[in-house]
C-alpha cells in the first residue's frame, strides 16, 4: 500500500485531510523535513492562508527544492486549496516565487457585484481534460470552495476541471504528469470529495 506523506509546514488543515485519507484506509505519515520524504510513495500538499507566508514556511522547512526534485522525478503529488496555488510560478497575492512545478500564475478572482469574495460554498465542477482525479464520464461532483485567488495555467491542457464564478470559468483542478491539485477542499466535500480522493489512491496503486 502507498504511504502518503502529508506535508506539515504550518499552513495546512492537516487534521481533516489526514482523517479523510485514513477513512479510506490510507497510510499517512507527516512530513516535516526533507529526510521524511524517503518513507513516502506519494505526497499531499495542503494549505490554508496566504501565498507568501506559505512559501516562507516551506523555505524554513527546507522543503522547496526537495518538492521540486520530487515532482521532476515523477513523484506523485496532490495539492489541496493553497497547495494548488503554490505549485505555480507566482501569485497576485504576494511577491514570492512559487514552486514553479506548473507553468502559470495565480490571479485574483474577478470582482463583480453580487459575487462576494472570498468565493465560498458548494459548486458543481465543470469537467475539462479527463484525468485520474476526474475521469471521462464522471458523475456530477459538487465540491466545497473557499478562496479569493485561482490559478491560470500556461498550458490549458493541464486543467481537468473548472468552476463558474461571476460568469467566468476558473480553474478548479489541474493534472500534469504525476502532479494533481484541486482548488476546493475534497476532505470537506462529502461523498464527491471522498470519491475523488479514492480515485487518486486507486491511481497510485497502478504506478
Residue 114 CB contacts under 8 Å (≥ 6 apart), including other chains: none
81 is catalytic: yes
Which residue of the set 81, 119, 147, 182 is catalytic?
81
Q: Which residue has the cell 470582482?
A: 111
Which residue of the set 40, 158, 182, 185 is catalytic?
185
Alpha helix ranges (H) inside the chain: 14-23, 51-60, 64-72, 82-86, 190-205
71 is catalytic: no
Q: Are strands 104-108 and 168-176 parallel, antiparallel or unpaired?
A: unpaired
Q: Which helix (H) or strand (E) holds 168?
A: strand 168-176
CA distances for 118 relative to 14, 86, 164, 204, angstroms = 21, 18, 14, 33
Q: Which residue has the cell 497502478?
A: 206
Which residue of the set 71, 119, 182, 187 is catalytic?
187
Size of the chain in residues: 207
Q: Are strands 168-176 and 179-182 parallel, antiparallel or unpaired?
A: antiparallel
185 is catalytic: yes
Are 82 and 58 in contact, with CB atoms under 8 Å apart? no
Q: Looking at the annotation, which residues are catalytic?
A: 81, 185, 187
Amino acid at each position: 500500500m502507498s504511504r502518503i506523506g502529508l506535508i506539515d509546514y504550518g499552513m495546512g488543515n492537516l487534521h481533516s485531510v489526514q482523517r479523510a485519507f485514513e477513512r479510506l484506509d490510507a497510510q499517512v505519515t507527516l512530513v516535516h523535513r526533507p529526510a521524511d520524504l524517503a518513507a513516502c510513495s506519494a505526497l499531499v500538499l495542503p494549505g490554508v492562508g496566504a501565498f507568501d507566508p506559505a512559501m516562507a514556511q516551506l523555505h524554513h522547512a527546507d522543503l522547496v527544492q526537495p518538492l521540486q526534485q520530487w515532482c521532476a522525478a515523477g513523484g506523485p503529488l496532490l495539492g489541496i486549496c493553497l497547495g494548488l496555488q503554490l505549485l505555480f510560478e507566482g501569485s497576485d497575492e504576494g511577491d514570492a516565487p512559487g514552486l514553479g512545478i506548473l507553468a502559470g500564475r495565480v490571479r485574483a478572482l474577478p470582482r463583480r457585484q453580487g459575487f462576494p469574495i472570498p468565493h465560498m460554498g458548494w459548486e458543481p465542477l465543470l469537467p475539462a481534460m479527463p484525468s485520474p482525479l476526474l475521469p471521462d464520464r464522471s458523475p456530477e461532483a459538487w465540491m466545497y470552495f473557499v478562496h479569493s485567488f485561482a490559478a491560470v495555467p500556461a498550458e490549458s491542457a493541464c486543467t481537468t476541471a473548472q468552476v463558474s464564478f461571476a460568469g467566468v470559468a476558473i480553474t478548479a483542478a489541474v493534472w500534469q504528469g504525476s502532479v494533481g491539485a484541486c482548488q476546493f477542499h475534497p476532505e470537506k466535500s462529502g461523498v464527491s470529495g471522498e470519491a475523488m480522493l479514492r480515485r487518486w489512491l486507486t491511481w497510485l496503486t497502478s504506478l
